[in-house]
Structure 1
Amino acid sequence: MSEADGIVYSDVKFTRTKRNTRGTTSSEAEPTYSEVRILKTHPSTELPGSQQHPVSNGGSKVTPERVVIVVLSALLAAAVIALGFTSLDNMHTKQSFQTLRDELEAVKRNLTERHCEVKSYNTVQQTSPQPPVVKENDPCLKCERGWEQDGRQCYYFSIDLLTWSESRDKCRQKGGDLVQIDSRDEQTFLELKVREKMKNDGDMFWIGLTDSEKEGTWLWVNGSPLNERLTFWSASGPDNWAVYNPDGEDCVMMGKKAGAPDLKCWFDEFCKYTRRSICEKPAETGHFTLQCV
């Protein structure tokens, strides 16, 4: 559209009064013309009530749905990483669990032995007129004088030289029996003690194992059979050597003075030979009167 299209001309007539030289005003009017230019504006083509929307610049829109997806993806990745670290920790934990449990059992045994304190009979008689009730798992258990304790068992290492049968009778008189070995730990304890007490290689100790009822069938003194997976025979035993004794070797002794401890120190022997012996009985409170602290 040209500039002329937007302009409208209009004539406006003004009247100016005319003075004469005498100072009076004449009634004649002198017309004056003036040009007025009016800019013609075009009405808006937009409909009433319509709103003008900004033109999109072509960029992508960030919607709430996309934000949620991004957050969930990040959380899932973090969870996968955490699971990987947890699995690795569990693997290391399983490898060391058995070792820790064994160490705990050793600590518990030491603490149990230190937990009990022997007090005099008169002192306890004043504080507790009734004898204490001994529970099955009571940790306050001790051995009488002359016996040596390992856990819940008491052992007596005799200095008397007797036959196997005589040794068993002596053990019974003391309230026990010839020792029955039920674990590797017990064998370790006994072997170390026997080494301390032996005077020479022949100074051995009877234990409660024999095959006198049936050759080759080894039984403990309580009648239970020997566990073949838990034996500690020496390299030469059992051989039932019958050169000097036709009856053979039906009783078992233990002991090894020389060499490093290797637990394999059982020997079958003629039951009529005289040896020292090991008696065994459970630890108990009995008349020893114990107090737990």
Structure 2
Amino acid sequence: MTMWKINLYHCVVFLSSLGLYQSCCPEGWVKGRYSCYYPSSESASWQAASARCRSMQSNLVIINDYDENHFVTGMLKEYIQAYKHNFWLDGTDAQHEGYFLWSSTRQPISYKNWNVHEPSGGNENCIEMLVKEYANLDTIGKWNDKICSYLNHFVCERSVDDP
């Protein structure tokens, strides 16, 4: 597969006391408060999804707080009919069972939005956000641990300021 560098950007220009500030996201990405998000329509294992995000100078999404979880959930709900699966997040406990961390930063997960009776452990070492499978109005946006080889959609995240 050939990767094309995307030079089209969605930009928001801010005026501040420091002068003109431009905040951009590449074409096909959604601008959040501090990040650009790429909701993928393709399906991949957690490892392949992580590699795909890195190929786009990003990582699987890290959910830092309730507001970000709510934003990402809302973004995915906008196009829910186009999706068949749930979405991979950057979290994993593959290195130490029961100790989830964000893979790209190696930081422990502080904000959590687990579904009831989750995480369930065993060989389910990667975190998915429930959007389609096993999701209803009460569980959309909740998290589940899943076998990493399962094929899910994924969300990539990069800083708004990244070129």
Report the TM range for the smaller structure's normalisation: 0.7 to 0.9
What secondary structure does 1:231 align onto? coil
> Does 1:271 find its partner at 2:152?
no
Shift of 1:168: 0.3
What secondary structure does 1:209 align onto? strand
> Does 1:224 find its partner at 2:107?
yes
Q: Which residue of 1 aligns with 2:130?
A: 255
1:111-260 equivalence runs, <5 A: 115-116=13-14, 139-199=21-81, 203-221=85-103, 222-227=105-110, 230-240=111-121, 248-257=123-132, 258-260=136-138
What secondary structure does 2:47 align onto? helix
CA distance in 1, matches of 2:162, 2:20: 9
Shift of 1:279: 0.3
- Give the conservation status (yes or no) of the 8 Å contact 1:141–1:285: no
Q: Which runs of 5+ in 2 are unaligned?
A: 1-10
What secondary structure does 1:187 align onto? helix
CA distance in 1, matches of 2:34, 2:70: 16
Distance 1:283 1:114, change over 3 A: closer
Higher Rg of the two aligned structures: 1
Name the amino acid aligned to 1:226.
I
State the TM-score, normalized to the length of structure 2.
0.79
Shift of 1:186: 0.5
Q: Deviations over 1:211-245 (max 9, x none)?
A: 00010010102100111xx21000131112x5xxx
What secondary structure does 1:143 align onto? strand
State the TM-score, normalized to the length of structure 1.
0.46
Choose between structure 1 and 2: higher helix proportion: 1
Distance 1:177 1:273, change over 3 A: same
Distance 1:283 1:182, change over 3 A: same
Distance 1:236 1:200, change over 3 A: farther
- Give the conservation status (yes or no) of the 8 Å contact 1:167–1:277: yes
Shift of 1:196: 2.4
Distance 1:262 1:210, change over 3 A: same
Identity, % of aligned positions: 26
Distance 1:280 1:169, change over 3 A: same
- Give the conservation status (yes or no) of the 8 Å contact 1:154–1:282: yes
CA distance in 2, matches of 1:212, 1:279: 20
Cα-Cα RMSD: 2.7
Q: Deviations over 1:231-268 (max 9, x none)?
A: 1000131112x5xxxxx1000100235315775x1010
CA distance in 2, matches of 1:116, 1:176: 24
